[in-house]
Structure 1
Amino acid sequence: MKPLVFLGDALRRLRDFPEGARHDAGYQLHRVQCGEQPSDFKPMPEVGPGVEELRVWDASGTYRVIYVARVARAVYVLHAFQKKTQRTARADIELARQRYREIGG
């Protein structure tokens, strides 16, 4: 099982999710650590190769966790946030892209 490595404030932001969304995101990240696919995700090529967005829905809103698992040594969580519009905000994509570069992407 690969370790989870949180970049920047991603862990704090994930912990700020409501309990149900936090639990679901944690379960899906565990699946990724074990080499399985999460139940709902999409590729995020605009952030970098191999980057994916975990999608979590809760009664209080829509949440996203951007991560990359194709690096051999760990699953890197680049960003976690509540999504408030149909499109992912440019600032969220740029932040994830910057953190992706930090791991050598």
Structure 2
Amino acid sequence: MNSTPLQPVHWVASSKKDLLAMPDDVQDVFGFALHLAQAGTKHPQAKPLKGFGSAGVLEVVEDHHRDTYRAVYTVKLGDAVYVLHCFQKKSSRGIATPKPDLDKIRDRLKLAEQHAKGETS
């Protein structure tokens, strides 16, 4: 039995509400990925999100009934998992993350960094 304590999860802005609005199957995949992150391991579908350098921002992508859902989180801030953004990808152009979502992730990463430094509640 593994006695390593799980890292806490911090939900940034509306990320938890957004996750809970997704289909149950998608919630299960993302919940399992976050559980693995809490335990210090990585879900097989978790990949570094391009454009964030060494910030340790990971993305899990799940397809469900021809829709694509994404959960973005970081494990590089203190001893916690910060869920930055959960969303349904609406863009029909390629697999790239849409710019408004990337902007939101950048803004929320700044909030998470402030929280990790104890600057916000």
Q: Which residue of 1 aligns with 2:36?
A: 31
CA RMSD of aligned residues (A): 1.6
CA displacement, residues 65-102 of structure 1 (integer Å, 9 cap, x when unaligned): 11001223210000000113322110000001001111
Q: Which residue of 2 aligns with 1:88?
A: 97
Q: Which residue identity lines up with residue 43 of structure 2 in the other structure?
A: P
Normalising by structure 2, what TM-score? 0.79
Larger mean CA deviation between 43-52 and 16-25 belongs to 43-52
- Deviation at 1:31? 0.8
Separation of aligned partners in 2, 1:20 and 1:55: 12
Q: Which residue of 1 aligns with 2:112?
A: 103
SS at match of 1:76: strand
Separation of aligned partners in 1, 2:11 and 2:108: 10
- Deviation at 1:103? 2.3
Normalising by structure 1, what TM-score? 0.90
Aligned pair 1:73/2:82, yes or no? Answer: no
CA displacement, residues 7-45 of structure 1 (integer Å, 9 cap, x when unaligned): 000000000111111111111111111111112022124
Asked which structure has the greater RCO (Cα within 8 Å, sep 6+), the reply is 1
From the superposition, tell whether residues 94 and 47 of structure 1 become closer, same or farther in structure 2 (CA, over 3 Å). Answer: farther
Correspondent of 2:9 among 4, 7, 10: 4
Larger of the two Rg values belongs to structure: 2
Q: Which residue of 2 aligns with 1:52?
A: 58
Q: Which stretches of structure 1, 4 residues or longer, exceed 6 Å deviation after superposition?
A: none
Q: Which residue identity lines up with residue 107 of structure 2 in the other structure?
A: Q
Q: Which runs of 5+ in 1 are unaligned?
A: none
- Percent pairwise identity: 30
